[in-house]
Amino acid sequence: MESENKTGVAEFLLLGLSEDAELQPVLLGLFLTVYLVTVLGNLLIILAVSCDPHLHTPMYFFLCNLSLADISLSTITIPKMLVNIQAQSKSISYSGCVTQVGFFLSFAGVENFLLAAMAYDRYVAICHPLRYAVIMRPCFCSWLVLLSLTISVGDALLHSLMVLRLSFCRDLEIHHFFCDLAQIIKLACSDNLINTILMYVVTSLLGSVPLLGIICSYFQIVSSVLRIPSARGKYKAFSTCGCHLSVVALFYGTGFGVYISSALTHSSTDLAIASVMYTVVPPMLNPFIYSLRNRDMKGALRKLL
């Protein structure tokens, strides 16, 4: 087939989770509910932390930024899907698709690094409590967030610019509900070897380094907690990490689940459904995890409401 560069005018087709017309109203209602719950839940977290002076600590500062990243991550993907279902359209412009890829990679990367920063915060609080106020200064916490954003945006710009060099044929169907980088690269008619290698190398590097930091932090935390003589002291120390561990397990568990699914199944529909667990479910559940398992957050939410 003769390749045709459509980078200026092409529209991609987002096939979504199902092409069954009877399921479209169900998907519309389901994802609209999920999006509203995600936005309202994370906004409540941000407002509660902002309005309660007792929560003006590094841990809740990182939590506010995590909630903001969750809102942004959901806003990048779900509204376009809802608009397409409502309008009975599957199209997304080339520029819109590349933009969606860039913003998705940016906010997913920020969330990845923020989880590592929160693990470091718990490590300092438990292993070096007397030096906590000195180490976790506001300027240092702001620097960590800024560094996370800079690295994530740089990664997103790199992949977006690499997509711009690709040429595409007439087959422009994306078997997903948003513009997934891997599927866009597969649609290219031109040589995409460099894009593929870059995608796997950079994604593996930026995913493994924060995860390694989280594992090392909790290894030190567990070692320190086990040296506490009283059972009550151990429980109190571990309870401060419970919410973060739950969010980490949810984020990386669903991410690895999508990776394993892509390796085991060749069905694009099954892979798109599995991706929902990674892109939609964690941002929706994070506010519930922190509000239901955290006494301070419960009290702040009561005051706010």
The band of 3, judged by pLDDT with boundaries at 50, 70 and 90, is very low
pLDDT at 296: 74
**pLDDT at residue 94 above 80?**
yes
Q: Which of 129, 134, 114, 108 is nearest to 59 (CA)?
A: 114
HSE on the CB side for 35, CA within 13 Å?
18
The answer to whether residue 261 sits within a structural domain is yes
Q: Which residue has the higher pLDDT, 11 or 261?
A: 11
- In this structure, what CATH number is given to the domain that contains residue 77? 1.20.1070.10
The answer to whether residue 1 sits within a structural domain is no
- Whole-model pTM: value is 0.89
The answer to whether residue 165 sits within a structural domain is yes
**pLDDT at residue 101 above 70?**
yes
The answer to whether residue 172 sits within a structural domain is yes
Range name among 40-49, 80-89, 208-217, 249-258 with the lowest pLDDT average: 249-258
Q: In what order do the strands lie in the sheet with 173-174?
A: 91-93, 11-14, 173-174
The answer to whether residue 288 sits within a structural domain is yes
User: Token digits for 255?
Assistant: 């991410």
Q: Give 78-142 as a DSSP string.
A: HHHHHHHHHHT--EEEHHHHHHHHHHHHHHHHHHHHHHHHHHHHHHHHHH-GGGHHHHS-HHHHH
The answer to whether residue 64 sits within a structural domain is yes
The total of structural domains in the chain comes to 1
In terms of DSSP bridges, do strands 11-14 and 91-93 run parallel, antiparallel, or are they unpaired?
antiparallel
User: What's the average model confidence in pLDDT over 64-84?
Assistant: 93
Give the whole-angstrom CA distance, residue 47 versus residue 88.
36
Residue 41 is part of which domain span?
Answer: 11-304
Give the whole-angstrom CA distance, residue 53 versus residue 76.
31
User: What's the average model confidence in pLDDT over 134-144?
Assistant: 94
The answer to whether residue 80 sits within a structural domain is yes
Give the whole-angstrom CA distance, residue 107 versus residue 110.
5
The answer to whether residue 2 sits within a structural domain is no
